[in-house]
Each structure stands twice: as C-alpha cells, then as structure tokens.
C-alpha cells in the first residue's frame, strides 16, 4: 500500500513538474552522448605504455663501537650503537654489518657479497686516486624473496688515519678531498618473477677520522626498484565509460519518450478513480480493528438506510453506537460497509469497476482520454494543502475522538 502511494506521488510530481523533468533528462542524455563520443574520439590510437614495479632490493649498514679504555663516562666493554660521532681514544675500532635482501612475488638467485675498505681522493665527480683492501666476502645460493644476506667487518680507525696520512705523504700535494669508505658490492644472478636476472648494487659507508673523534655515515635501508614497461590497451581500461554513457543516453531518451506519450494521453498523473481507491484502501487498513467481514441477511438489508460519505464516518457511527462495521459484497461486485443500529442500517459503498481500457497504472480512458482526471487533479505550487491529489495520497484516516468524547 505504501509503495502504491509513493508511486502515485511520484507520478503526480512528474506530471506537475513535467517541463523541468524533461530538461533534466535531456541534460543526462547529452552527457551520456558526450561520454560515448569522448571515449571513442581517438579510434586510431596505439596501445599506451606504463611503468610498473617488478622487484626491488634493500641494503644497508649497521655499525657500533665497543669501549676499550677506562673513562669517566662509559663502562669498558659497553657497545655504543649507531653513533654519529665515536671517540677514538676509548673506542678506536668500529664494527659493522651489511645486510641485503630483495622483494618480489617469487625468485631464486645466487648472491655474491664483497666488502672492501677503500681510501680515495675525490672532488665532486672526479676521483684522483684510490686504494682498496678486501674486508670480507660471502656467497649465498637459493636465495628467495625476503631472505637476508649479510657480512660483517671491523675497521681500526687510528690505523686507517695513519694509512691516509702515509699515502698522502707519498703523493706529495694531493688534490681533492681524501676519504675512507667501506664498499659493499652485491651481485645477484638467477631468476626473479620468471625472468633471468643479473644485477649488481653498490653501497658505501663513509668513515671520517678527525683526531680524537671519527664519524660514520651510510645508508641504513637503501632501496633499488627494478621497473618494467608494459603495453596497455586504452580501450580496455576505459571500457566501462562508454557503456555507462550509452546506457545513460538510451535510458534518458526512452524515459522522455514514455513520459511525453503519457503526458499527451493524460495518463501520467494518477486518475481520480485511482486516488479514490487508494483513499478507501488506506481507510480500510487504518480501521481494520473496527471492521469484520460478514454477510447481512436479506431482511436486514431491507431496513431503512442511512448513507454516509466515507468509511471513516461509518466507523465514527459504529463507535457511537457501540457496534461493529460489517464488510460485505454488493450485488454489483463492489464492497459495502454496514453498521446495524436498531431499525436503521448505516451504509458506505465503494464500487471499483475494472475497465478494459485501463492502462498498467489502472487508469480508465474514454475515447483516448482519462475520464475526469484532468478536471479534478490540480497542483498549486503556492499551497501545501489545496492540492487534491497530494491530500488524498497523503491522508491517513484517524478515528474521530470528538465523537467518542460526546458519546461519553
């Protein structure tokens, strides 16, 4: 019942605001057509290309120094992890470890890890000279994604500083800046993501001696990403856009056609007969507790009749008389409601005669026009209570409390 009422309200609203509704549908149709044209404008375009990540590597250094001499601050044997500056006198040796791993969906590679200490003189991108000394090397086979491969090292900083001075002295006036680094070179060879791979990464840990202190600086988790370019069909990615636009275009045009036809035929707004049926059905549901289905004897039907205007009025009579409302069929096939009070028979009859010319909304037509609907249904934008269709659709019958109080 509520669905029927809402449908009647929607139809009445569309009939009332027919012009704006058609304009909105036209705008939607134009928008749908534009999306279809825009999606298919460049029919000769080649496939696009996009860059995707396939796998990546991550490598970095961890370092610490152990206190070897007594002092007023640190305990002997205490480890000082990841310090920006270490004290040469109490912790002359820096220890460290380099770790490396790769990330992918699948893979099986052999990893060769070489660590060496390098002293060099550089200036911007220019390297003037360099010397190197191997520190450690390792090889790991069958390495899968996420497996860590690592190697440790130790650097005697005072010895390193002496070697730097000795090398510079042997060269005389050395250009650039002399620096010392721990170099980790990682070579991977195998298969990643089903593709053969031979890849090398290089990482550097800078050690800068400065008399009584030295600093250590290097990557902790430096990431390298292997990218791959793949071809993408632009029509495949935007396939949903033209389908949506086509559906919007055709749907809007079809809606305009159907609504226009009903507007011309006068079948868009609910008919007077339909509004009356909805009103009576609503009253029947509202006063169900006062109504009983039954059959009146012929002698009762022959009593003096009092015809009332609505089922609500008849329920008021039943309340005043302390009687039930009897629901019975009429000889014409309609529905009649009775209240028997002594020699009087209060009656409300509702006749709903089906018409073979009624459309799917249940509206009746005579010679192609709705019977009486255009004369009775009016919509006044300036009034909330005078619109007959809205009033009948929205009305919820209520029991007349004043009748009950007067009876008391």
Question: Hunting for tokens 């002293």 — which residue is that?
Answer: 119
Measured between alpha carbons, how far is 77 from 70 in angstroms, rounded to an integer?
9
β 291-293/222-232 pair status = unpaired
Measured between alpha carbons, how far is 230 from 167 in angstroms, rounded to an integer?
51
pLDDT digit string (tens) for 2-20? Answer: 676 677 677 777 777 878 8
pLDDT at 243: 80
Tell which residue, 270, 115, 312, 91, has the closest CA to residue 202: 115
Structure tokens at 289: 């507790």
Could you tell me where the beta strands, DSSP code E, fall in 269-392?
Answer: 291-293, 304-307, 325-329, 335-341, 344-350, 365-366, 369-370
**Residue 18 burial by CB count (10 A; 0-12/13-18/19+): exposed, middle or buried?**
middle
Q: Is the pTM for the entire model greater than 0.85?
A: no
Per-residue pLDDT, averaged over 113-120, amounts to 96
Band of pLDDT at residue 396, cut at 50, 70 and 90: very low
For 26, list phi and psi in degrees, rounded to 5.
-65, -40
For 71, list phi and psi in degrees, rounded to 5.
-155, 175
pLDDT digit string (tens) for 68-104? Answer: 999 999 999 999 999 999 999 999 999 999 999 999 9
Q: What percent of the chain has pLDDT over 70?
A: 74
β 335-341/325-329 pair status = antiparallel
Q: Residue 352: pLDDT above 90?
A: no
Highest mean pLDDT among 82-91, 245-254, 314-323, 348-357: 82-91
Measured between alpha carbons, how far is 186 from 98 in angstroms, rounded to an integer?
10
Q: Kind and range of the H or E element at 143?
A: strand 126-143
Q: Residue 365: pLDDT above 50?
A: no
pLDDT at 296: 84
pLDDT at 383: 36
C-beta neighbour count of 71 within 10 angstroms: 13
Q: Kind and range of the H or E element at 285?
A: helix 272-286
Q: What percent of the chain has pLDDT over 90?
A: 36
The CA-based angle 394-397-400, given to 5 degrees, is: 145
């Amino acid at each position: 019942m509520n669905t029927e009422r809402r449908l009647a309200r929607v139809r009445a609203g569309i009939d009332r605001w027919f012009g704006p509704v058609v304009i909105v549908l036209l705008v939607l149709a134009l928008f749908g057509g534009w999306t279809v044209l825009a999606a298919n404008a460049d029919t000769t375009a080649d496939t696009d290309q996009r860059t995707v990540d396939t796998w990546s590597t991550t490598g970095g250094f961890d370092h610490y120094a152990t206190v070897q001499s007594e002092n007023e601050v640190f305990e002997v044997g205490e480890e000082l992890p990841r310090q920006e500056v270490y004290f040469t006198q109490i912790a002359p040796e820096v220890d460290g470890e380099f770790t490396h791993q790769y990330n992918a969906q699948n893979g099986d590679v052999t990893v060769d890890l070489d660590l060496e200490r390098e002293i060099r003189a550089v200036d911007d991108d220019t390297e003037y000279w360099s010397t190197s000394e191997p520190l450690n090397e390792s090889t790991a086979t069958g390495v899968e994604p996420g497996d860590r491969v690592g190697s440790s090292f130790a650097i005697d900083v005072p010895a390193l500083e002496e070697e730097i001075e000795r090398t510079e002295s042997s060269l005389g006036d050395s250009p650039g800046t002399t620096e010392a680094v721990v170099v980790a070179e990682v070579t991977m060879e195998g298969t990643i993501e089903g593709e053969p791979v031979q890849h090398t990464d290089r990482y550097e840990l800078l050690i800068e001696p400065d008399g009584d202190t030295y600093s250590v600086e290097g990557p902790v988790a430096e990431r390298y990403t292997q990218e791959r370019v793949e071809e993408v069909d632009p029509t495949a990615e935007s396939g949903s856009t033209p389908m949506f636009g086509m559906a919007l275009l055709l749907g809007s045009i079809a809606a305009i056609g159907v609504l226009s036809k009903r507007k011309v035929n006068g079948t868009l707004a609910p008919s007077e007969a339909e509004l009356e049926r909805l009103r009576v059905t609503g009253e029947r549901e509202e006063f169900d507790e006062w109504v009983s289905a039954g059959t009146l004897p012929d002698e009762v039907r022959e009593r003096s009749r009092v015809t009332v205007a609505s089922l609500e009025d008849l329920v008021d009579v039943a309340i005043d008389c302390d009687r039930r409302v009897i629901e019975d069929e009429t000889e014409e096939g309609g529905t009649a409601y009775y209240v028997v009070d002594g020699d009087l028979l209060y009656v409300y009859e509702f006749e709903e005669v089906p018409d073979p010319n009624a459309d799917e909304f249940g509206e009746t037509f005579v010679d192609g026009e709705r019977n009486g609907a255009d004369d009775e249904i009016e919509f006044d934008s300036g009034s909330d209570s005078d619109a007959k269709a809205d009033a009948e659709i929205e009305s919820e019958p209520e029991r007349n409390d004043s009748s009950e109080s007067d009876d008391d």
